[in-house]
Chain A
Amino acid sequence: MSSFLDYLTLGIVLGSMYAIFAIGYTLVYGVLQLINFAHSEVFMTGGFVGMIVLTEFAPSRPHGFPSVLWMVIGCLSGMVGGAAIAWCLERVAYRPLRKAHAPRLVFLLSAVGASFFLYNLCGKLFGRTPIQVPSLYTNSVLFHWPGTSVEVRVNQVVVVGAAVVMMIALDRVVNRTKLGSGIRAVAQDAETAGLMGVDIDRVVSRTFVIGGLLGGAAGFLYGYAVSGQVVFTMGFVPGIKAFAAAVLGGIGNVRGAMLGGLLLGVIESFTVPLLGSEWIDVAAFVILVLVLMFRPTGLLGERLGRSA
């Protein structure tokens, strides 16, 4: 029982990170119907910007309130960095192609190129060896699951808490604001939305920024609380996982991405006791393939406009 809760905790932590990362894929897919392959570099940027801010500006081991403050600052700077890169990506690698009505594979390749460019540039600028993210506090045990000895540590609470806050905020934005209805309109039918007076360029650009905010935060949280270090290739594997999570939940569907991310995290985590840690990725993809075979549009169906 206690080990079950242990793995569940780990799974939820990992899953909530995947969830906010996956939202970026799903949002862009929703409005443009294409896989943003460069989103993993947004994640990487978030991790690096957060790390740089903490290394360069934060005092070594602040206590009490300042450490919380610096945590928030690190996360916010990661988000800003991610959003900036996502915005540039849209501007440079997507918008010219959109203007030319390019086929989707061209977008795909342009994103792949941008991804190569960005992560190798990062490797060049900051070195190609992993860099430790300075820790702001001791990652001590915060509480035990009631009635058991299963520990929950500070970092785990921070990741899940931040993810929950962001998911709620995003859900509000998509469902309650004017920008959100713009996003949903473009996702349903871009042409008609344009005729109805929605500024498609602006909506697409802001969709990228929102995805970048969440992706950057995911990158920071991953670097700070999950792996403890950042490296220029850190986006690749989590990126594939997050994309798989988005597909699992039904790509283009925001709540689907959240559900898919959580599920994938939990599945991965339970693979460790059942099969061994080296089979984590196999299990994730086998589940994905099985789900797609029986429910070809993911668990919650695919349209952003319809079901978010």
Chain B
Amino acid sequence: MSGGTASEESFRRPKVDVARLRRDAWYRRPRWRRLLGFVVAGLALAVVTGPQGAGSTALMSSLKATFTSVPRLGVCVGIGVLLWAVREFGAPLRAPARTAQDGVARGVAPLRRFYAAGVWPKLAVGALVLLAGAVIPNLLSPTWQVVFVEQMGVYLLLAVGLNVVIGWAGLLDLGFVAFYAVGAYSVAFWTGSLPVQPPVVLNPFVVIPIAVLTCLAAGLLLGTPTLRLRGDYLAIVTLGFHEIVYLVAKNADGFTGGSRGTTKMIPHPSIHLFGLDYNWMFDPLPYWYLILAFTAILVVLFSRLENSRIGRAWTAVREDEVAAQASGLNTVRYKLMAFAIGASTSGLAGVVYASKVGFINPDNFPLLASILVLSYVIFGGMGSIAGVLVGTALLTLLPQWLKSYVPAEDRYMYLGGLLVAMMIFRPQGVIPSRRRQREIKLAESGVGGADATGAAGGTTS
């Protein structure tokens, strides 16, 4: 670098302004193309927020209404143009925003240091969250209590389980809800609600360990032959497994009751001990506390697991399976372990769900649910338990909250849009794990890959 300085002095610069020659004519600058993009985005916004369509009677009614209502179209395109203007000419705004951001970061830094210092702050935060979880549902209306149990709670359990499979072991599992179904159907079987009668009819409480073990076995059964597949092949096989479970539940009329589901109501958990007689019935709160307890226990167990020998083995398998194997790790065993742990957690969620709702049918366990859980996990921040919990809570409550603002059927449209935006602007998730954040940062600057699902499919041949 320093060798050329002497000759640089004598090098005569050409008289022409190279920068000016290089510059395109004003209309060819990318800025105007971006304007076009923003205008199109504005039009898209108008279409998205437009009126509901009328179906086959007036096919184009919604689009027609959108493009003839000048004021709304104007507002939407105006928003687009405004965003463009901020992006192109907003440099003066950016500096104060940056200083404000830095100020906040500096203010938060001691707190963050305190939090990272030891285990006590973490325990305190955990206890606070637990307390909030115990108190908040009592203050809510019954509809929201049901939402808390059936939408959020169950998915919290599922997401914590899937996080082990995908976040830590890096196995892309698209059939996760199949185990959820297996758990739910085990309850239905052992409480005598299916066409087939069990040897003994049990209380749902007693079924919990049985169902968990069943799911563990199912996980091992599926995992043993398939876990040597990598990345996307594993994804499609698990997806296929889900379809098989779903269709067996739907078509094996004599065993599962077919598409109508359980023939009798699955009894609610009840306690009949020492003169104590307590049946949970439809009140959502006891189920919420059950879920809360399970989640808390699992969170503690799993975070212990994350930093154990097993957790580090998972990290190794996820980062580079070949290297892990070469270092003497029995990768199949660890992958199987992650798979089985995830499956049994999923089964647990199934038990709670089935005993809460009383009736189940195959359509409670669509493939869509697997994909939803997956998106909650990635949205929250793969590999970080706090992130997964927050992400699940946000994304399951969001549609319920949106219900009062937008037409109910449109909720998933906004959810989809949110997912795309989130992946573009914050791919590491709401609360990323530190390792993951670093991986993504490094990948952005071109160092290494940030793949968490084993090697890319293309490396085996």
Contacts and interface: CB of A to CB of B under 8 A. Distances in A.
For the side of the interface on A, what is the size category?
35 or more
A301 interface: yes
Given A120-B410, A303-B461, A113 B382 contact: no
A60 B422 CA distance: 46
Interface stretch (A89-97, A173-181, A216-224): A89-97
Interface stretch (A69-77, A121-129, A145-153, A192-200): A121-129
Contact of A109 (B59, B235, B241, B374): B374
Interface string B240-263: 110110011011000000000000
Nearest to A230: B56
Contact of B439 (A103, A125, A306): A103
A132 interface: yes
Nearest to B419: A113
Contacts of A101: 443-444, 446, 449-450
B225 A93 contact: no
Contacts of B446: 101
B328 interface: no
Interface residues of B, number: 70
A110 B420 CA distance: 5
A180 B231 CA distance: 26
B397 interface: no
A102 B450 contact: yes
Contacts, number: 200
B461 A301 contact: yes
B246 to A, nearest CB: 8
A297 B460 contact: yes
B416 A113 contact: yes
B378 interface: yes
Given A110-B423, A117-B420, A303-B461, A247 B243 contact: no
**Most chain B CB atoms below 10 A, which of A110, A118, A123:** A110
Interface string A283-300: 001101100110011000
A302 B59 contact: no
A240 interface: yes
A282 B243 contact: yes
A contact patch SS: helix
Interface string B346-389: 00000000000000000000010001001100110010000000
Given A112-B419, A114-B416, A293-B226, A100 B243 contact: no
A108 B50 CA distance: 28
Contacts of A128: 55, 409
A35 B420 contact: no
Given A112-B375, A127-B54, A240-B239, 16 more contacts: A33-B457, A34-B232, A92-B420, A101-B450, A102-B443, A106-B423, A108-B172, A112-B419, A240-B243, A278-B250, A285-B239, A285-B240, A292-B226, A292-B229, A293-B226, A303-B461
Interface of A: 29, 33-35, 52, 55-56, 92-93, 96-97, 100-110, 112-118, 120-121, 123-129, 131-132, 240, 243-244, 247, 251-252, 278-279, 281-282, 285-286, 288-289, 292-293, 296-297, 301-303, 306
For the complex of A and B, the 5 pairs showing the least CB-CB separation, nearest first, are A127-B55, A113-B419, A116-B416, A117-B416, A285-B240
